[in-house]
């Protein structure tokens, strides 16, 4: 029989696994009488083996293009010695037994590597045990390879498919007794493997959230105020109702989240008007006659130019001290050279290519079923249950592939809206945001402003490093989501003395995590200023960094409590040294006129990256990144090199988009509306990229983010090298470069 047609929810009737960080191996048995039970074997919560030897592995975490739907099952397959060419992958159901089914912060690899290995090793152990019992030989005498158990003494072999039914009935092995492979014996991990959905993608199969199809499905838009959270004053619902194809129109009051919290991260949803129609275009057309008026008064004054003026005023004073070492004031006073600058990184939007959407269907038991392209399947389920006041078991979430995430889908706002609308309409509804909705209702990377003041001693060493950052707050005390993390970055950490101060301005603009949150702005600021310090000291920017790092490495050796995932300069310096070699940094003076190299290095999300960018700048200030050299240390093994290189290349291209974009606000409303308002990287903007991984003796970590932060300062520093223009504000426009040329 074909296992692929079996309903997953019935097949995987298993008992807890991977809950709470530790691994309890669950075992799945078929309920008596099920046809599937007779013919195939579910081994634990993740593995199903069909009688013909085909294997289904469940991917527990959402796929947003970062490759974990391929990678997590690869880890299982490696330890169980499955034949990868006969493995099919499906998303796991959203269930507490799979732990937190979310993806963000490049945590999927570090948090799941060992647990998934144990899942695979456990499956292998019971398959071997089943063979041992069949043959009457000790399990320890048997081997496995490519989906078979082998008895080396007799040469006998049994395929996993022939053993599955017996193996599925065996008690689970004790996790402590599992024997994991030595990584040197890996045959699958460490090899290039094509993404498991790639064949479906190239044939246009409907695998994305937005492609969900259900019987009787109708299509919705949800019209909200341009000012976040503003209430509806009036709207012409009747006019909308008369539009062709419209089946239902209703206004929703919304549900405010607890004070100081944001919809999407806490129970609640925004007020708005739902328009449901026979197809999505008709629903979206009908909004043209809605004529909605909102009470937008809460937005007054929340404009980017107002924020900018406020921030620069605040930077004249001092902020709350969040970390310090040494006597910065004394060192600044005694410095032989002072360097001061103000940097600014603007608000940014996520702009995943698949707009926010979710399909929801009321269920017969009074609950709701969601088909969600999300990064947070577990939270989506919980927030939906809390918002609708339903018990958790009445909310079923199916993970659908996401057309990009970049942190946007860490917010469950669209899925919760879809659930609320479907429940009110009492029919299956696909909610799709127009691109204009997606731009207007993002959780933006918060802008920040940082004033820096550093002192160099007589030897050109940074003796003092003061940074004062201004970002936003929602509740008056804590920084708003995705911002205000003014942690010690490299220059401060390496300086003789340092002080980090923070000031927060109130905002109503929704903010969130954008790929490499905080680091994507802080790298620009600190690594740009570091470059300024090197030039002020009259030194090569890489040699200058390395000289400062060496002293710190000695201190780290004595001070060993700085463990993972904390920054270790002893891992940052080698990637910097290597990128200098690979890029031909020492010969950069021979580059043609108008072309320069710049460097950035950064630690984020447990990964260490150093990057050199070669940039051409024209007389008019137009710039193009010609080549980027990347060296990264993400541990002892690159689990899927093909996917790993894609993540790094994508990070570089996205870093260049960060350099080119900004989001403006006017009285709480987002000014840009659609893609033409963003100068996103296109194919002609993509540089040549040289990628190298430095293999080190550390556990493997994730690659969704850490390669992104360094490219931003590398490009800005290269523009300086190429043209002499020191740009301290993004986006990096030709006008800014020309203006900087006049003042530097």
Instruction: Give the binding site for ligand FES (CB under 6 A).
Output: 65, 353, 404
Q: How far is the CB of 436 from another protein (least distance, A)?
A: 8
Q: Is 39 a binder of another protein (CB under 8 A)?
A: no
How many angstroms separate the CA atoms of 77 and 191, rounded? 13
**CB under 8 A: which stretch of 39-47, 178-186, 203-211, 500-508 binds another protein?**
203-211
Choose, by CB under 8 A, the member of 13, 137, 139, 649 that binds another protein.
649
**CB under 8 A: which stretch of 37-45, 228-236, 528-536, 638-646 binds another protein?**
638-646
Contacted entry of ligand FES, another protein, none for residue 734, CB cut-off 5 to 8 Å set by kind: none
Per CB under 8 A, contacts with another protein among 341-370 are 351-355
- Helix H or strand E segment including 468: strand 462-473
Q: How far is the CB of 404 from ligand FES (least distance, A)?
A: 5
Contacted entry of another protein, ligand FES, none for residue 171, CB cut-off 5 to 8 Å set by kind: none
The nearer residue to another protein, 66 or 500, going by C-beta atoms, is: 66
In order of 46, 664, 669, 693, the CA distances from 228 in angstroms are 41, 15, 8, 43
The nearer residue to ligand FES, 307 or 406, going by C-beta atoms, is: 406
Choose, by CB under 8 A, the member of 199, 301, 334, 506 that binds another protein.
199
**CB under 8 A: which stretch of 107-115, 254-262, 397-405, 413-421 binds another protein?**
397-405
Q: How far is the CB of 222 from another protein (least distance, A)?
A: 16
The nearer residue to ligand FES, 335 or 440, going by C-beta atoms, is: 440
Token pair of 75, please? 């880890």
| Eight-state DSSP code of residue 269 | B
Q: Is 375 a binder of another protein (CB under 8 A)?
A: no
CB 709 within 8 A of CB 526: no
CB 471 within 8 A of CB 504: yes
Among candidate residues 123, 45, 37, 114, the one with its CA nearest the CA of residue 77? 123
Q: Is 654 a binder of another protein (CB under 8 A)?
A: yes
Peptide bond into 552 cis (omega under 30): no
CB 76 within 8 A of CB 69: no
The nearer residue to ligand FES, 153 or 353, going by C-beta atoms, is: 353
Contacted entry of ligand FES, another protein, none for residue 195, CB cut-off 5 to 8 Å set by kind: another protein
Token pair of 101, please? 């089914």
The nearer residue to ligand FES, 319 or 404, going by C-beta atoms, is: 404
| Eight-state DSSP code of residue 112 | H
Among candidate residues 522, 523, 502, 478, the one with its CA nearest the CA of residue 322? 502
The nearer residue to another protein, 433 or 449, going by C-beta atoms, is: 433
| 141 to 180: interface string for another protein, x by CB under 8 A | ----------------------------------------
Q: How far is the CB of 698 from ligand FES (least distance, A)?
A: 29
Using alpha carbons only, give the angle 527, 528, 532 rounded to the nearest 5 degrees.
110
Q: How far is the CB of 649 from ligand FES (least distance, A)?
A: 11
Per CB under 8 A, contacts with another protein among 206-235 are 206-208, 210-211, 213, 219
The nearer residue to ligand FES, 50 or 440, going by C-beta atoms, is: 440
In order of 50, 87, 202, 524, the CA distances from 55 in angstroms are 6, 5, 23, 46
Among candidate residues 44, 43, 48, 62, the one with its CA nearest the CA of residue 7? 48
CB 735 within 8 A of CB 621: yes
Among candidate residues 277, 332, 584, the one with its CA nearest the CA of residue 456? 332
Q: How far is the CB of 326 from another protein (least distance, A)?
A: 41
The number of CA neighbours under 13 Å toward the Cβ of 534 is 23
Phi–psi pair at 259, nearest 5 degrees: -50, 135
Choose, by CB under 8 A, the member of 434, 567, 727, 740 that binds another protein.
434
Q: How far is the CB of 199 from another protein (least distance, A)?
A: 6
Residue nearest to ligand FES (CB): 353
The nearer residue to another protein, 64 or 240, going by C-beta atoms, is: 64
Q: How far is the CB of 65 from ligand FES (least distance, A)?
A: 5
Q: Is 409 a binder of another protein (CB under 8 A)?
A: no
The nearer residue to another protein, 546 or 689, going by C-beta atoms, is: 689
The nearer residue to ligand FES, 196 or 448, going by C-beta atoms, is: 196
Q: Is 555 a binder of another protein (CB under 8 A)?
A: no
Q: How far is the CB of 356 from ligand FES (least distance, A)?
A: 15
Q: How far is the CB of 650 from ligand FES (least distance, A)?
A: 8
How many angstroms separate the CA atoms of 169 and 44, rounded? 10
Q: How far is the CB of 353 from ligand FES (least distance, A)?
A: 4
Q: Is 543 a binder of another protein (CB under 8 A)?
A: no
Q: How far is the CB of 21 from another protein (least distance, A)?
A: 29
Token pair of 303, please? 């404009």
How many angstroms separate the CA atoms of 48 and 58, rounded? 9
Among candidate residues 623, 629, 410, 659, the one with its CA nearest the CA of residue 520? 659
Q: How far is the CB of 354 from ligand FES (least distance, A)?
A: 8
Strands 320-325 and 337-345: unpaired
How many angstroms separate the CA atoms of 714 and 519, rounded? 14
Q: How far is the CB of 412 from ligand FES (least distance, A)?
A: 21
Bridge partners (DSSP) of residue 373 are 400
Q: How far is the CB of 673 from ligand FES (least distance, A)?
A: 13
CB 347 within 8 A of CB 447: yes
Name the one residue in this structure whose structure tokens are 């003026």. 309
Choose, by CB under 8 A, the member of 405, 415, 600, 713 that binds another protein.
405
How many angstroms separate the CA atoms of 406 and 388, rounded? 27
| 492 to 531: interface string for another protein, x by CB under 8 A | ----------------------------------------
Among candidate residues 357, 375, 481, the one with its CA nearest the CA of residue 417? 357
How many angstroms separate the CA atoms of 602 and 623, rounded? 23
Phi–psi pair at 719, nearest 5 degrees: -60, -40
The nearer residue to another protein, 203 or 316, going by C-beta atoms, is: 203
Q: Is 281 a binder of another protein (CB under 8 A)?
A: yes
Q: How far is the CB of 224 from another protein (least distance, A)?
A: 18
Q: How far is the CB of 203 from another protein (least distance, A)?
A: 7
Bridge partners (DSSP) of residue 49 are 41, 55
Q: Provide CB contacts within 8 A for 552, sequence distance 6+.
A: 493, 494, 569
What is the chain's Cα-based Rg?
Answer: 28
The nearer residue to another protein, 218 or 531, going by C-beta atoms, is: 218
| 656 to 695: interface string for another protein, x by CB under 8 A | ------------------xxx---xxxxx-x-xx------
**Dihedral (CA of 643, 649, 650, 651) sign:** positive
In order of 54, 200, 474, 522, the CA distances from 446 in angstroms are 48, 36, 12, 12
In order of 379, 478, 642, the CA distances from 65 in angstroms are 20, 32, 13
Give the neighbor-by-neighbor strand order of the sheet with 357-362.
Answer: 246-252, 272-277, 218-223, 429-432, 357-362, 368-373, 395-400
Contacted entry of another protein, ligand FES, none for residue 650, CB cut-off 5 to 8 Å set by kind: another protein
The nearer residue to another protein, 382 or 685, going by C-beta atoms, is: 685
The nearer residue to ligand FES, 322 or 646, going by C-beta atoms, is: 646
Contact set with another protein (CB under 8 A): 63-67, 192, 194-195, 197-199, 201-208, 210-211, 213, 219, 244, 279-282, 351-355, 401-406, 432, 434-435, 642-643, 646-647, 649-654, 674-676, 680-684, 686, 688-689
């Amino acid at each position: 029989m074909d296992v692929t047609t079996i309903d997953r929810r019935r097949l995987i009737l298993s008992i807890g696994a991977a809950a709470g960080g530790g691994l309890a191996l669950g075992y799945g048995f078929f309920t008596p009488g099920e046809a599937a039970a007779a013919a195939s074997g579910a081994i634990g919560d993740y593995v199903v083996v069909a009688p013909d030897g085909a294997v289904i592995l469940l991917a527990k975490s959402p796929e947003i293009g970062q490759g974990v739907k391929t990678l997590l099952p690869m880890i299982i397959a490696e330890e169980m010695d499955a034949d990868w060419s006969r493995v099919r992958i499906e998303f796991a159901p959203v269930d507490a037994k799979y732990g937190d089914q979310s993806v963000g912060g490049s945590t999927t690899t570090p948090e799941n590597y060992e647990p998934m290995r144990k899942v695979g090793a456990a499956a292998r152990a019971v398959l071997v045990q089943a063979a041992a019992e069949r043959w009457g030989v000790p399990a320890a005498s048997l081997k496995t390879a490519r989906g078979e158990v082998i008895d080396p003494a007799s040469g006998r072999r049994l395929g996993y498919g022939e053993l599955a039914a017996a193996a599925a009935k065996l008690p689970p092995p004790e996790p402590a007794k599992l024997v994991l492979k030595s990584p040197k014996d890996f045959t699958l991990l460490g090899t290039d493997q094509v993404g498991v959905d790639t064949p479906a993608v190239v044939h246009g199969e409907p695998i994305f959230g937005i492609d969900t199809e259900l019987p009787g499905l109708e299509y919705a838009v949800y019209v909200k105020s341009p000012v976040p959270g503003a209430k509806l004053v009036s709207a012409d619902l009747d006019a909308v109702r008369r539009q062709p194809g419209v089946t239902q129109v209703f206004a929703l009051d919304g549900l405010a989240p607890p004070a100081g919290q944001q919809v999407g991260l806490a129970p609640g949803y925004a007020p708005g008007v739902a328009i449901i129609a026979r197809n999505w275009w008709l629903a979206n057309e009908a909004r043209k006659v809605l004529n909605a008026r909102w009470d937008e008064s809460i937005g007054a004054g929340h404009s980017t130019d107002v924020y900018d003026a406020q921030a620069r005023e605040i930077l004249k004073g001092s902020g709350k001290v969040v970390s310090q070492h040494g006597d910065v004031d004394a060192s600044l006073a005694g410095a032989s050279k002072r360097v001061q600058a103000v940097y600014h990184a603007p608000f940014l939007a996520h702009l995943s290519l698949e707009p926010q959407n979710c399909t929801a269907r009321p269920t017969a038991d009074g609950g709701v079923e969601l088909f969600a392209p999300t990064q947070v399947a577990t939270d989506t389920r919980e927030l939906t249950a809390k918002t609708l006041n339903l018990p958790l078991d009445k909310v079923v979430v199916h993970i659908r592939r996401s057309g990009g995430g970049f942190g946007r889908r860490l917010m469950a706002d669209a899925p919760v809206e879809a659930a609320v609308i479907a429940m009110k309409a009492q029919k299956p509804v696909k909610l799709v945001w127009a691109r204009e909705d997606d731009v207007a209702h993002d959780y933006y990377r918060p802008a920040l402003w940082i004033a820096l003041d550093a002192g160099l001693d007589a030897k050109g060493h940074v003796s003092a490093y003061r940074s004062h950052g201004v970002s936003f707050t929602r509740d008056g005390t804590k920084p708003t989501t995705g911002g205000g993390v003014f942690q010690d970055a490299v220059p401060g950490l390496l300086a003789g003395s340092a002080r980090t101060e923070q000031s927060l301005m109130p905002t109503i603009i929704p903010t969130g995590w954008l790929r490499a949150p905080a680091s994507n702005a802080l790298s620009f600021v600190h690594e740009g200023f570091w470059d300024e310090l090197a030039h002020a000291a009259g030194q090569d920017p890489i040699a200058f960094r390395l000289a400062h790092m060496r002293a710190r490495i000695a201190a780290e050796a004595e001070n060993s409590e700085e463990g993972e995932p904390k920054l270790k300069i002893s891992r940052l310096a080698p990637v910097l040294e290597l990128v200098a070699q690979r890029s031909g940094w020492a010969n950069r003076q021979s580059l043609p006129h108008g072309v320069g190299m710049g460097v950035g290095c950064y630690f984020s999300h447990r990964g260490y990256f150093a990057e050199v960018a070669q940039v051409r700048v024209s007389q008019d200030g137009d710039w193009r990144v010609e080549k980027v050299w990347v060296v990264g240390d993400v541990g002892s093994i690159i689990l899927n090199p093909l996917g790993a290189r894609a993540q790094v290349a994508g990070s570089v291209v996205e870093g260049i988009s960060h350099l080119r974009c900004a989001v403006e606000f006017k009285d709480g409303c987002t000014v840009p509306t659609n893609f033409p308002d963003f100068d996103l990287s296109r194919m002609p903007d993509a540089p040549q990229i040289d990628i190298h991984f430095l293999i080190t003796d550390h556990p493997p970590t994730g690659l969704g983010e850490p390669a992104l932060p360094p490219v931003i300062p590398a490009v800005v520093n290269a523009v300086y090298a190429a043209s002499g223009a020191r740009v301290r504000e993004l986006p990096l426009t030709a006008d800014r470069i020309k203006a900087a040329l006049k003042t530097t």
